[in-house]
A and B are shown apart, each in its own frame.
Chain A
């Protein structure tokens, strides 16, 4: 499974503190113009560049122009993925920067982190309950129990960074329970 960008150098799991040393706002949603930055690992807080994105799933947080990470909530976390641009549906393409897309990491079922990535089929998979989403086709549900697609964060590429160009395409995470 291609699941995340951090490859432990040793057998023992390293403890990775997200964004150590970087300013983090209390809580704020991504804003237009924010730059996508590495969410975890040694490069946490540094801007993501295309050469960082291959077959592995790469988690990012948006950073404001003041250098402050908006929030480290899972609801602000996106997966930056490289997919086959020609295979994208029009719905997907409107959120993409060439072959690159940024998809919410919060599952719409119970809110788990969607951390499984199958580059061969373009599917994201949630480890908690097995929901799968087709990133090429608007992140529609391929397999439940989720019933709603994942949200895209619209991005563009320029000056060797990925910038946010709009709000999340739909509600992030599960629907509220009343």
Chain B
């Protein structure tokens, strides 16, 4: 760990000379109490609240007037690739991150740039997923998890580096793209690098000092519970990254993290169930101890990362109130789980897109049985649905307690043919073991109708209520508001859209500079509500577009370049 108190040193901070607005001198420190119950006007973390609902209680902008929504200001980041971060807002200060690890602080109302931090990244680092998904806040600090695998803490009002702590060695294939989770005075991050033979983990630091607190691997070492589910030495390089922010239950002190698939991608290279891959794990924030888990599917062979954290939703089942976890999975099933004193229990699950791999689920455990002909292996090709990008990839779903609906940004009717090849581990080098010259996407029978979809499910009945479909693939994170509006972009036609939360009717749309894969947020400054989102196409949205074009499903060219859009009523 490097402590850089007051010494920006090798890290560049460009402090601009704009006169700071009045509120700049009154930065409101972020406390545990505020994180547990954020004010409606602020958006203090990745999904707004610890339960990961992606819900804003603001309703000045609502289903009746959203058609009058206008772009009030924009801000060009000057960078290419995937702009996926939510605009995080605290008392009029807005913070966004960009690919290649810039942090920008802006006046959330006027769009004035307050400062910009630029991370100096190693030249020889592989940027397999050039993106960053936003900051975490605590006290007067702003935290970013970096591509070279550091957590850096910046002064919220100046952008100066207060401390930075190395989490792992980028040269061994570790990197980070997620927004940190801040809870109980700790900053928690997970690592990417499942394509490079890492051993995944979640790590916690003291939020004030950056001192390491704990580190919990997602793959148990020999002798630890679950270690029997990995063959040979496969645990050492088995992947299982954590690259999306966890949820947190302040009552129990448990954080819930989704985990990625095992590596190499072919399950036959690491025989066994491979705990805790493709699972949700409950980590005690105080100690890092694993207090429960549920594995959505065992011995993954489809690249179905289940990294999205489950939404903490209390739902009803057969007249019973369930303290639940809800996860629309990359494997194409919508999972309803229960938080119990002893861990995580299975309630039920059903496919939300066409899924031809699972033949049955155990009614007690939820463990799926596979159609083995749909499971690729080393030298064994197989076609399966949904594709390796899944029924829902990383873009987060949202939940409204007003409508009782879960809003899922889905992709349907795209399958994949995949075949594995033998591969040897080399530190820091690609370790997927997939033959990309033979592997390809395969369109499903109904692809002519649609691929992208926005679905709304009633969580108490487990029934789909409405859906909107798109020709394009959909990579749009979802925001829902108390004004009964659902906001989402994600399509290759560059639109950012508003839908009626109860009916799905399209209410408004704005064409933007690029494709919108940013996480939308809503906030209020001086009594005025805003909706903000980054538009900036890249990473897997672009990659899927290339893969679809290769099988004859071409889409429009989507220009790159990040722009922050901030909307409001006139």
Contacts and interface: CB of A to CB of B under 8 A. Distances in A.
Interface string B428-449: 1111111111100000000000
Contacts of B80: 177
B128 interface: yes
A145 B130 CA distance: 13
Given A1-B436, A75-B124, A145 B269 contact: no
Contact of A15 (B99, B425, B428, B435): B425
Interface string A38-73: 001100000000000000000000000000000001
Interface stretch (B46-54, B227-235, B492-500): B227-235
A127 B264 CA distance: 14
Given A75-B123, A116-B436, A1 B421 contact: yes
Nearest to A73: B124
Instruction: Determine chain B's interface SS by DSSP, over half rule.
Output: loop
Interface string B398-435: 00000000000000000000000111111111111111
A13 B126 contact: no
B127 interface: yes
A113 B429 contact: yes
Contact of A13 (B264, B427, B543): B264
A3 interface: yes
B430 A130 contact: no
Nearest to A6: B424
Interface in A1-59: 1, 3-4, 6-8, 11-18, 40-41
B314 to A, nearest CB: 41
Contacts of B436: 1, 116, 125, 127, 130
> Considering residues A7, A113, A118, A176, which has the most beta carbons from chain B within 10 angstroms of its beta carbon?
A113
Contacts of B124: 73-75, 106, 111, 173
A8 B424 contact: yes
A130 B126 contact: no
Contacts of A110: 126-128, 130
B373 interface: no
Contacts of A115: 429-430
B553 to A, nearest CB: 15
Given A13-B264, A74-B428, A145-B542, A177 B79 contact: yes
Interface in A109-150: 110-113, 115-116, 118, 125, 127-130, 144-145
A8 B268 CA distance: 14
A11 B427 CA distance: 19
B546 interface: yes
Given A1-B438, A127-B430, A176 B542 contact: no
A17 B427 contact: yes
A74 B264 contact: no
A112 B126 contact: yes
Most buried by A among B233, B425, B428, B435: B425
A14 B424 contact: yes
A174 interface: yes
A144 to B, nearest CB: 8
A106 B424 CA distance: 19
Name A's interface SS.
loop
| Residue among B429, B438, B546 with most chain A CB within 10 A | B429
Contacts of A74: 124, 126, 428-429
A128 B378 CA distance: 19
B425 A14 contact: yes
Interface in B368-422: 378, 421-422
B237 interface: yes
A145 B127 contact: no
A112 B128 contact: yes
A118 B437 CA distance: 9
A15 B124 CA distance: 23
Contacts of B430: 112-113, 115, 127-128
A173 to B, nearest CB: 7
Contacts of A111: 124-127
Nearest to A15: B425
B345 to A, nearest CB: 35
A16 B426 contact: yes
A148 B238 CA distance: 33
A16 B233 CA distance: 13
B100 interface: yes
B236 interface: yes
Contact of B437 (A17, A116, A144, A177): A116
B546 A11 contact: no
Contact of A18 (B130, B268, B426, B438): B426
30 contacts: A1-B421, A1-B436, A7-B422, A8-B423, A12-B233, A13-B264, A13-B269, A13-B431, A14-B424, A15-B236, A17-B427, A40-B426, A75-B123, A110-B126, A111-B125, A112-B128, A113-B126, A113-B429, A113-B430, A118-B437, A125-B436, A125-B437, A127-B430, A127-B434, A128-B126, A129-B542, A130-B436, A173-B124, A177-B79, A177-B121
Given A173-B124, A177-B100, 5 more contacts: A8-B423, A13-B425, A73-B171, A118-B437, A177-B99
- Nearest 9 pairs between A and B by C-beta? A110-B127, A75-B124, A1-B437, A177-B100, A73-B124, A6-B424, A111-B126, A15-B425, A8-B422
